[in-house]
Amino acid sequence: MLYHAYEMTHAALAPMRHVAQMSRNALQSTANPMASSYGARLSAAGLDMFINATRRYAKPEFGLESTVIDGVDVPVIEEVALSLPFCDLLHFRRETAAQHQKLLIIAPLSGHYATLLRGTVAEMLPDHDIYITDWVDGRDVPLSEGSFDLDDYVDYLIRFCETLAEDGERPAVLAVCQPGVPMLVAAALMAEDKSAYRPSSLTLMGSPIDTTISPKQPNELAASKPLSWFKNNVIVKVPWPNSGFMRRVYPGFLQLSGFMSMNLDRHVDAHTEHFKNLVKGDGDSTEAHRRFYDEYMAVMDLSAEYYLQTIERVFQKHLLAEGAYYYRDRLVDPSKISDTALMTVEGEKDDITGLGQTEAAHRLVDLPKNMRKHYVQEGVGHYGVFNGSRWRGKIAPKVKAFIAAHRRDA
């Protein structure tokens, strides 16, 4: 009923939203002699706020059409290298003869789309042949495709590494936030199996490897209630006419409400400033606000099996950190990782993944000192670890150097 109520509310507001759009356009029209008056600008700003608060935010585009390699502007073509029911492996093919190592960027499957890592991809693109996981919205996957859980997630990651290693060179892997645990599991399995396509290096950024360390609000929420509470209160079935009709999911709009409530004052202040800028006609500020929230408000549904297993295994039982993580009845042993270099990156002010949670990966592996590195970036929160000026100027150069130092053939 929860999902149906959300959809019905959205549908009920549609006529009002259309009227608001027409009214705003009329107020801002160059044919309106009063368009520049304070009253018209104030009314148009209010209508704009209502439209954005009630509209559906579509999946954003990466929009990366070119990059600069050795001072030359190089076209970039976005293509699907491999399509699986719950994820497309995107390839940003650069029109250049330059030979760079393949880098698999694993985007988090935690509510937002992979485009949240647009800045990550853009910065790494000149120096690497980039692939990224583009997870499919759970409400768009037909029930006939079966379920998707954490073990399936690991299978996908192993399959992607195998795809990238087809040319004989082991890929580098960069996992941002949530995929740190399944990727470390995948790396351990590939190492134990001596797979030729095991990563040459693995970089974990803001990943919840051990959430008993410096727990933050999301960690505390996940641990404060029994798993049955999550099953009964946040898992719903996708309504008709979505392609995933009857699939059990954790809906994106619930995840978004959780994100918003964590920093409610900040979001209220941002929208208050946006309203003032609309009235003033500050185009640059309003455009920056829209770009951010077009990305932030676009959310996707998560498969119930995957979501509940993540709550239980990662946030409640801490199985990987405790040495008790099983993949399809097989005990996972990260100490088997012997020739995949490990780098961990954390943000000093991260309010989602606390300091030390990602660094915990180092005590699980058995690697020599020259094959591991830990870095804490001062003054950044969770988002700043993989986007923004400090990512570009401070973190990315270190990640690139680490990847290059551990490049290996299969």
Between 61-75, 78-92, 220-234, the lowest mean confidence (pLDDT) is in 220-234
User: What is the structure's pLDDT at 366?
Assistant: 92
Mean pLDDT of 322-340: 96
Q: Assign residue 23 a region: left if phi > 0, alpha if psi is -120 to 50, beta otherwise?
A: alpha
Cα angle vertex 388, ends 386, 392, to 5°?
A: 75
- What would the mean pLDDT of 333-360 be, rounded to a whole number? 95
Query: Is residue 289's pLDDT more than 60?
Result: no
Residue 267: per-residue pLDDT:
47
CA gap 365, 355 in Å, rounded: 19
Sorting pLDDT into bands at 50, 70 and 90, what band is 11? low
CA dihedral 207, 82, 295, 109 (to 10 degrees): -30
Q: Give the model confidence (pLDDT) of 120-166 as tens digits.
A: 999 999 999 999 999 999 999 999 999 999 999 999 999 999 999 98
Phi-psi category of residue 266: left, alpha or beta, with phi > 0 → left and psi -120 to 50 → alpha: alpha
What is the mean pLDDT of the segment spanning 87-106?
94
pTM to 2 decimals?
Answer: 0.87
CB 376 within 8 A of CB 346: yes
CA–CA dist 93, 129 (Å, integer)? 7
Query: What is the model's pLDDT at position 125?
Result: 97
Spatial separation of the C-alpha atoms in residues 326 and 363, rounded to whole Å? 18
- What is the reported pLDDT for 33? 80
Are 387 and 119 within 8 A, CB to CB? yes
pLDDT score of 227: 93
Residue with tokens 């759970």: 138
Looking at the domain 66-219+302-405, which fold is it?
A: Rossmann fold (3.40.50)
Q: Rounded mean pLDDT of 212-227? A: 87
Report whether pLDDT(28) > 90.
no
| Arithmetic mean of pLDDT, 279-306 | 71
pLDDT above 60 (res 274): no
What is the pLDDT at residue 254? 73
Q: Please tell me the predicted confidence (pLDDT) of residue 293.
A: 58
Burial of 395 from C-beta contacts in 10 A (0-12 / 13-18 / 19+): buried
CA-to-CA dists, residue 24 to 37, 43, 276, angstroms: 14, 8, 16
Q: What three-state secondary structure class fits 132?
A: strand
Residue-level pLDDT at 91 = 98
- Retrieve residue 146's tokens: 């079966």
Average pLDDT over residues 269-295: 60
Q: Are 306 and 149 in contact (CB under 8 A)?
A: yes
Note the pLDDT of residue 216. 84
Distance of CA 54 to the CA centre of its chain: 23
The pLDDT score that the predictor gives to residue 59 is: 84
Gap between the Cα atoms of 13 and 11, Å rounded? 5
**% of the chain surpassing 90 pLDDT:** 62
Least confident of 120-134, 152-166, 271-285, 291-305: 271-285
Residue 182 has pLDDT above 90, yes or no: yes
Confidence of residue 291 (pLDDT cuts 50, 70, 90): low
